[in-house]
Structure 1
Amino acid sequence: MASGLAATEERERRRQRIYATICDVPPGSVASYGQIAEIAGIPRGARQVGRALRELPQGHDVPWHRIVTASGHLAFAVDSKPWRRQVDKLAAEEVVLTHGRVNMALYRWQPDLDELLWKPSAAWD
């Protein structure tokens, strides 16, 4: 029983690190699922990032729309309601999609070492 509780607590800590890292992505920039996982200290955890985003609670303030695939595509079906909402949110931040994808060379968030080391969320347990 104790190991189940410990595993649940660890999943919650990872989820909170993922959310904190996503909140660090500045407006007008995007990050990939894998990039968020790496920065959050979850190597090869892109799927965990996707799962955490699917589990966002109602009324959250996590800028989920700034997360895209490594190739710059949105993870939703083209022209679906969530896809359109993400496109609109990105456009409001002046992130442009060309041929259905974000130009990662232009819009990819590239934090410097100081930003990663000294941000408030760097004090993870």
Structure 2
Amino acid sequence: MKPFTEKVIAIIMEIPEGYVMTYGQIARQAGSPRAARQVVRVLHSMSRKYQLPWHRVINAKGEIALNDETAAIEQQLSLESEGVVVINKHVDLDTYQYNDERK
């Protein structure tokens, strides 16, 4: 496994319940600021294997960005069960964004 992928997995695993991070934020913290799409790929291919809290990752606008309506509803329900308010697939990043900025 590549170091970037390992870092992405570690960062996602550390997102606390009731908080979210963005794809780009995770990419930056993993050392590759322009690799938000790679974060999407890691989530898609490794969420089950590593039991990642995939539902805590949203886009930079604070939106649930899944095209699959069933998965989007699952993500919303998972976030809401942790106390995150989701309105029209949107999460207030000022309130719920986790900021554990790494160097």
TM exceeds 0.5?
yes
Percent same amino acid among aligned pairs? Answer: 33
Unaligned runs of 5+ in 2: none
**Which residue of 2 is the match for residue 69 of structure 1?**
59
**Which residue of 1 is the match for residue 20 of structure 2?**
30
Cα deviation digits, residues 41-91 of structure 1 (max 9, x gap): 11211011011111115343211110000001112137x110011011101
Could you say what the CA RMSD is over the residues aligned between the two structures, in angstroms?
1.8
Partner amino acid for 2:39? Answer: V
* Higher-RCO chain (CA-CA 8 Å, sequence separation at least 6): 2
Name which one, 1 or 2, has greater alpha-carbon Rg.
1
TM-fit CA distance, 1:27: 0.8
**How many residue pairs are counted as aligned between the two chains?**
103
TM-score (norm 1): 0.75
Unaligned runs of 5+ in 1: 1-8, 118-125
Partner amino acid for 2:27? Answer: A
- Cα gap change, 1:100 to 1:19, in 2 (>3 Å): same
The structure 1 segments of at least 4 consecutive aligned residues displaced by more than 2 Å after TM superposition are 57-60
Q: Helix, strand or coil: the match of 1:72?
A: coil
Determine whether 1:102 maps to 2:82: no
